[in-house]
Chain A
Amino acid sequence: MTRKTNMALAFSDEQAMILESAKSFCRDRSDIAAVRSLLASDNGYSTDIWAEMVALGWTGIAIPEQYGGSELGIGSTIPLVESMGRHLLSTPYISTTIASQALLRGGSEAQKAKWLPLLAEGSIGTMALLDNEDWGAGSTSCVLTESLKLRGSKLLVNDAAVADFFIVSATHNGAQVLVLVEASQLPKDALSRKVLIDDTKRAFNVDFNQIKISADAILPKGETALRDIKLLGALLTAAEATGSCAAALDVVVAYITSRIQFGRLIGSYQSLKHPTVDILIGMDSARSLIYHAATILGDEPLDQDAEIACRMAKAQATDALLFAGDRGIQFHGGMGFTYECDAQLYLRRSLWVQHQYGDAQHHRLHLASLILD
């Protein structure tokens, strides 16, 4: 079967303003020195900058007005996240945005009324989804028992140390559920920090064993929300990756237009020039795809076009950044082999990005049945 392809791409004046202010904010707050100063910090981000972002209303962008947000939709977070990726500005923004979407799409009225206003005001939420290395796993080994106790641990939970709550995927009476666990429910030793390849990120394994869940902490539409959440997670990661890819390109261009070898600027050699153009083209494709997805996503459950858009965006952004990160090291020569060289930041980012919410091959596998059958 061949299907008609959705090619919508629009960008409102409002979104253009968000993008403009996001760009200058991220540029001002997150130069490379600032990024490096946070690499060894506990939480990996500046609470001052987070407070500023909250004050700017960024955390409420995709939250409906009735819950204290500005109701601009998830698509309007894409320019923000791309800008953050561009300046390697790490905050719990992506984690929190995804968690708020989980509540918005899967939560009860009471859950939304309680948590969404808090999220708009800067509370932090995160998803606890993985219980093995497979982002593509359709099921989870984490169980919510009949007596409403969790049994299981979750891997690589982003920003877990600063999260006010977790949305945990589990099976309950054979069905997939999402449950909300507040940070205060966890014992002190529940979190163990993981050593990540991307020093700008923070993730933890979290032991949820024996945590008692009250019935009203189960998201009533968790099962359908879960599918959409994974797709939105892929899209937000793709947006961040696209920004990082543009930044990696800038770093390469700056170097090869200033470094002289054999009497010539090395950017004049076609063996460097042409692959650098390939980085640009890969980034451009990713950017077209993320803003296409941003255009067609609404608050309603994701339809087939939206699923295709999110998966394509993630597959393309992943591959583009992997290529940019890899060539970025190589083109810096000996300098590229050092920790001092900024190119390593993007290589590490690429290796982190590729697995978040599924690698490129995982998404292409799903795209195959969506497009080819």
Chain B
Amino acid sequence: MSNELQELRAEVTDWIKHNKPADPGFLLPQTFMEVGSERVLDFLREWQHKVWSAGYLGMAWPEKYGGRGLSPAHQNLVDAEMKLARVPICFNVIGLGWAGPLILDKGTDYEREKYLKGILNAEDIWCQGFSEPNHGSDLGSIQTRAKRDGSDYVINGSKIWTTMGNYAKYMILLARTEAQTERKYNGLSFFLAPMGAAGISTQPIQKLTGEYGFTETFFTDARIPADCIMGEEGQGWRIAMQTLQYERGAEAGAAGGISILSIVMNDLLKMTQDIQREGQPLLKDPVTRENLVKFFIEEKALYLANQRIAIPALCADYPNSLALSGKLRSTEFFRRMRQYALTLQGAQGSLYVGDEDAIDGGFWQRAYMNNFSTTIGGGTSQVQANIVGEHVLGLPKD
């Protein structure tokens, strides 16, 4: 590692030591899909602003748009240290990882000027409008219409699972500009839509956790300026797919910032160490030990897969296997691991967030329930298994 990066590491660890927020007295989100109240929003907004002000967000973005013009390696190093220190997330994820890099990459100077800084300093929250009621993750079936009318587009329809839809200033919106096309993806267009436009309303969705974080978003003759479109009419699908690529990290153009507080087996081990049964640590129980080890093996294999995927010689027989099964493997692992954590809690496992006796404030209960957003969102595990079966193993479609 270069001297410069080593100095940066020292600098950022020192900064974290002095700036990592104290326990706010409520459970912080593991992901940006858990911003369910104003106090959580305010807390995270203040935190992201602080990270950006210190120069630790958008480090590889140009200075004139609020960045620092450094390399992705700088951002990655900072993110790694932040992750290690388990600081709160940078919650404006759609802006930092999707919309921002897209605008930086494909937008006009005017758009860069207008949007990028607000993404970094958390003044402008972004949301994403792809999924629709009844279509889940089948984006080809999008029904929300965008019809050109003079200098506007008129939008009608609805979107669901809009993360922070009620707090967002802008939405990256995928809507249908042409009803009849040979391929259903060809009629879609991509917009940077202002959520404040008349005719756009949001309805918060209460999650199974009892908390909020998503909205359903309704468009009723909503008028947005025609120059909100990215690219040309009909290019929406291609742009949306491109947007997904940026997520992969700073090298791919994302602004950085940690977007997820992961829960790993060592966290479960830590929880288990504190539980007593019949005057003995639960960790002495052979069945518990056997189960924990099974999870540890699975976790290790998951992490190793991320490295093996970069070694083609070790993926020769089913070359796209690890890439296509990644979501299925990891989200299902985390679901079962969190579910197992609750089985170890005894009577306390029946408590919930808000009860003073709940272990870690009900952290595991909430984490288990929230994890379904990953085994369902972005293609359910069952759809993922179909994809792996069909595209990796060559099994016939249904």
Contacts and interface: CB of A to CB of B under 8 A. Distances in A.
Contact of B397 (A7, A253, A268, A373): A268
A361 B301 contact: no
A280 B318 contact: yes
Contacts of A287: 308, 314
Nearest to B398: A268
Contact of A281 (B313, B325, B398): B325
Interface in A208-254: 246, 249, 253
B396 A267 contact: yes
Interface string A335-373: 000000000000000000000000001001101100111
A147 interface: no
A268 B398 CA distance: 5
Query: Is the contact region of chain B dominated by helix, strand, or loop, or is it mixed?
Result: helix
Task: Give the dominant DSSP class at A's interface.
Answer: helix
A257 B394 contact: yes
B395 A364 contact: no
Contact of B393 (A11, A253, A292, A372): A253
B289 A372 contact: yes
Interface of B: 266, 269-270, 283, 286, 289-290, 292-294, 296-298, 300-305, 307-308, 311, 313-314, 316-318, 321-322, 325, 328-329, 382, 385-386, 388-390, 392-398
Interface residues of A, number: 46
A359 to B, nearest CB: 12
A364 B317 contact: no
A367 B298 CA distance: 13
Q: Shortest 4 CB-CB distances between A and B: which pairs? A: A285-B301, A288-B304, A16-B313, A368-B289
A23 B289 CA distance: 38
Given A2-B266, A9-B311, A276-B389, A284 B290 contact: no
22 contacts: A5-B300, A246-B317, A253-B393, A264-B396, A268-B398, A270-B385, A273-B386, A274-B382, A276-B393, A276-B395, A277-B393, A280-B321, A280-B325, A281-B328, A284-B322, A288-B307, A292-B300, A312-B300, A316-B301, A364-B297, A368-B289, A373-B283
B394 A253 contact: yes
Given A246-B317, A312-B300, A372-B292, A265 B386 contact: no
Contacts of B317: 246
Interface string A268-305: 10100110110011001111110110000000000000
B282 to A, nearest CB: 11
A127 interface: no
A372 B269 CA distance: 7
Contacts of A316: 297, 301
A285 B306 CA distance: 11
Nearest to A368: B289
A270 B384 CA distance: 12
A34 B68 CA distance: 65
**Max chain A CB contacts within 10 Å: which of B308, B325, B328, B397?**
B308
A35 interface: no
Contacts of B328: 277, 281
Nearest to A19: B313
Contacts of B314: 11, 19, 287, 291
Given A2-B270, A276-B393, A280-B321, A270 B382 contact: yes
Given A7-B307, A273-B389, A368 B290 contact: yes
B398 to A, nearest CB: 5
A365 B292 CA distance: 11
Contact of A364 (B293, B329, B385): B293
